[in-house]
Every structure is written in C-alpha cells, then in structure tokens.
Amino acid sequence: MTRLKVKGYENLVRDVKTSAIINSNKSEYKIYMNRIKAREEQSDEIRSAVKEINNLKAELREIKDLLKGIKK
C-alpha cells in the first residue's frame, strides 16, 4: 500500500490506490475509539432504562386492573 503525505498535515496520509485519507496518529485513534465505546455504553444504559420503565408500566397496568376487579 503506497501512501503519500498530505500537504499541511503532519499525521494525514493518502492511500494512492483508494485515494482515502488516513490519520496515522495512534493516540488520536485510541481517543476516537474510546469515545465510540463510551457512546455505545451510554446507549446500552438508556436502552436498559427504557426496558425497565416499560416493564414497570406493564406491572402498574396489571395492578390497576386487579384493583378494578376487587372494586366490583
């Protein structure tokens, strides 16, 4: 894979075959991947909280229906 330096940017190179611009700074890549991982974890937490809320709603409806049955 042949790479050429991008003029004016120390950490960027261009892949000659695909014309893709590649950041060769490994610490920036690690920071980027950590941000993605944190975003995914936060998304998982939100998804879990929504599921728990929906379960609580269903249980409250069930309790409400049982109370209505006792009242009659």
pLDDT digits (tens, 9 = 90+) for 34-63: 999 999 999 999 999 999 999 999 999 999
Strand partners, 22: 13
Q: What is the pLDDT of residue 54?
A: 98
The domain tally of the chain equals: 1
Count, residues in the chain: 72
Q: What is the pLDDT of residue 47?
A: 98
Question: Which residues form the domain of 11?
Answer: 3-71
How does pLDDT run across 4-41, given as a tens digit for each residue?
999 999 899 999 999 999 988 999 889 999 999 999 99
Q: What is the pLDDT of residue 72?
A: 65
Is this structure's pTM higher than 0.75? Answer: no
